[in-house]
Amino acid sequence: MSRYRSWFFAFALLTLFFDQATKFLVRLWLPLGKSVPILPNFFYLTHTQNPGAAFGLFPNATALLIVVALFVSAIFLWLGHQGFDKKRIAIAAGMMLGGALGNLIDRVRFGAVTDFIDIGIWPIFNIADIALTVGAFLLLCFSLTVSDRRSGSKVKSDDYKSADEIESTSQEKGLKFQGDADFTVNKT
């Protein structure tokens, strides 16, 4: 379980670096409220400051959001210290830690998060938001795997018995099949 710590911390640091670097450049070169078309009618760089959470939820709840980000970051740091049994989980968790820290730094330094990626049909967001969303999506996808890889076994079609096989086995053992998973003992 202690493997892949370096992947976790590398992705956390890379995410944090790219998030903070892009926000720095936006604050340096793009005045607040200004928008620059990159792909007209689709993609713009628009400098905004978001005092709330994602999508403008909880506006002006900076103190609460700082506490939540500190708590989430502490959990991810603890998990990273413990290590991960899969590289892909370490990477996804690292992305989430880097994103959480990136937005936390903005909230502490500026009282709001710098957002700048504007695709028109979605609220304006940043690299940290992308990392948090993609990391959470990947963790969800990884948790939905069907096979049990810890034991090395995979579900096979021959692991299942047909209803007829179950019924004949049940009758051999003195059970009488009475319908949908309702078995009673045959005392004759």
d(CA 112, CA 95): 21
Whether the CB-CB separation of 69 and 77 falls below 8 Å is answered with no
Residue burial 11-29, b: 16+ Cβ < 10 Å; e: rest: bbeebbebbbebbeebbee
d(CA 188, CA 185): 9
Catalytic residues: 115, 129
Tokens of 27: 């604050």
Q: What is the CA radius of gyration of the chain?
A: 26
